[in-house]
Amino acid sequence: MKGILFTCFLVIATTSAFGGDVNPAQDLNAFQKYFSSKFPNLPFREYINGVYAIDAESRSQWQEIEEFPPYELSISEGESEWKKPFSNGKTYQSCFPWPVNEGIRSHYPHWDVEHKRVVTLERALNECREANSEKPLEWEDSKLVGLSAYLAFHSRGKAMNVTIPNEEAKHAYAEGKHFFYTKRGQLNVSCADCHVYNASQKIRADILSPALGHASHFPVYRSEWEGIGGLHRRFVGCNKNVRAKPFQEQGVEYSNLEYFLTYMNNGLSFNGPAVRK
């Protein structure tokens, strides 16, 4: 009964996503309480492990893979790229006020007050390139994904703590929330249908993972991709799976969705890069 009540609250909350009564803190509390009710024996910290937190057989297979993780090469390539000077002699570090070992990944996504938009880590890396007279990379370029993997690795254990500093940021959050709960595509399915209401259920041979924790472990190596990719690549894939036209990676739609989803994960820690099916 408790789970049903929380589900009803979450559905009702989305109906006013663009109204002045949007309350992110209330949303966060309801979202996390919903999952604690759905999985009462699952420790909060375990959500960062996705489906491996709720399925013992999958967890065992994952732990074996993690003994020789397939994303290690990307971390190494990312480190080399991070330390490689631009043509002006500067490096990526010149664009960030935090050293790598302080968890640069943990500061993203955030609301850029000056430019009035959500800035993801990947966008910040490309903006750094442009600020140093270098061409931006494609969003799934191995160099950019490697940089993301390298910074994610050095942010493991850092807490997610997304803030919403003003009304403009709240509007971006509300748009991300609206996207998350809106049904789309020929299959008429929302993100929440799979990863909130039906989390732990099977779709074909796969178990649907809880949305709580989703933002913690990217970029990920997926066997389906035979490689490593970012969160927005996953958004694109999900939209295609429900036969909806995907949006552009790092566009406003997916950036706001990442902003909302990461805020819902506040209190959990980053643990990327990771392996997922």
Domains, the chain, with CATH or none: 2-68+164-276 (1.10.760.10), 72-153 (1.10.760.10)
| Integer angstrom CA distances of residue 100 from 93, 114, 127, 218 | 8, 24, 18, 17
Label the pairing between strands 117-119 and 110-112: antiparallel
Q: Taking phi first (over 0 means left), then psi (-120 to 50 degrees means alpha), and beta for anything else, what does residue 250 get?
A: left
E strands, the chain, are 110-112, 117-119, 202-203, 206-207, 220-222, 227-229, 274-276
Residues with Cβ within 8 Å of residue 227, at least 6 apart in sequence? 221
Chain center to CA of 162: 12
| Separation of alpha carbons 144 and 122, rounded Å | 7
Q: Tens place of pLDDT for every residue, the chain, 277 residues?
A: 444 444 444 544 444 444 457 899 999 999 999 999 999 999 999 999 999 999 999 999 999 999 999 999 999 999 999 999 999 999 999 999 999 999 999 999 999 999 999 999 999 999 999 999 999 999 999 999 999 999 999 999 999 999 999 999 999 999 999 999 999 999 999 999 999 999 999 988 889 999 999 999 999 999 899 999 999 999 999 999 999 999 999 999 999 999 999 999 999 999 999 999 8
Q: Which residue has the tokens 């999952």?
A: 35
| Separation of alpha carbons 274 and 276, rounded Å | 7
| Separation of alpha carbons 135 and 130, rounded Å | 6
The residues carrying an active-site annotation are 238
Could you tell me if 220 and 272 are in contact, meaning their C-beta atoms sit under 8 angstroms apart?
A: yes
pLDDT of residue 21: 77
Q: What pTM value is reported for the model? A: 0.93
| Separation of alpha carbons 47 and 210, rounded Å | 8
Residues with Cβ within 8 Å of residue 116, at least 6 apart in sequence? 168
pLDDT of residue 20: 53
